[in-house]
Amino acid sequence: METNTSPLILDGRTLSKTIREELSEQVASWMAGGGKQPHLAAILVGDDGASQTYVSSKVKGCEQTGMKSSLFRFPAETSEQEILDKIDALNNDHDIDGFIVQLPLPKHIDELKVTLAIDPAKDVDGFHPENAGRIQLGLPAFVSATPMGIMTMLERYQIETSGKHCVVIGRSNIVGTPMSILLSRNTNPGNCTVTLCHSRTPDIAAVCREADIIVAALGKPRFVTADMVKEGAVVVDVGITRVPADNDKGYVIAGDVDYDQVAPKCSAITPVPGGVGVMTVTSLLMNTFQAAQRKSF
Stretches 28-36, 99-107, 109-117, 287-295: which one binds ligand GUN (CB under 6 A)? Answer: 99-107
Q: Considering CB under 6 A, how many residues would be counted as binding ligand GUN?
A: 8
For the four alpha carbons of 48, 53, 55 and 59, in that order, the dihedral sign comes to positive
Please identify which residue in 65, 78, 280, 287 interacts with ligand GUN, judged by CB under 6 A: 280
Rank residues 145 and 269 by Cβ distance to ligand GUN and give the closer one: 145
Is position 123 an interface residue for ligand GUN (rule: CB under 6 A)? Answer: no
Rank residues 152 and 280 by Cβ distance to ligand GUN and give the closer one: 280
Q: Known catalytic residue: 81?
A: no
Compute, in degrees rounded to 10, the torsion defined by CA atoms 275, 123, 96, 91.
Answer: -150
Q: Known catalytic residue: 136?
A: no
Is position 226 an interface residue for ligand GUN (rule: CB under 6 A)? Answer: no
3-class DSSP assignment, residue 215: strand
Q: Count of alpha carbons within 13 Å of 17, Cβ hemisphere only?
A: 4
Is position 252 an interface residue for ligand GUN (rule: CB under 6 A)? Answer: no
Is position 125 an interface residue for ligand GUN (rule: CB under 6 A)? Answer: yes
Q: Which of 97, 125, 237, 256 is catalytic?
A: 125
Q: Known catalytic residue: 102?
A: yes
Query: At what angle are helices 145-156 and 176-184 packed, to 10 degrees?
Result: 40
Structural contact between residues 181 and 146, judged by C-beta atoms closer than 8 angstroms: no
Counting beta carbons within 10 angstroms of the beta carbon of residue 16, is it exposed (0 to 12), middle (13 to 18) or buried (19 or more)? buried
Residues at the contact surface with ligand GUN, assessed by CB under 6 A: 100-103, 125, 145-146, 280
Catalytic residues: 58, 102, 125
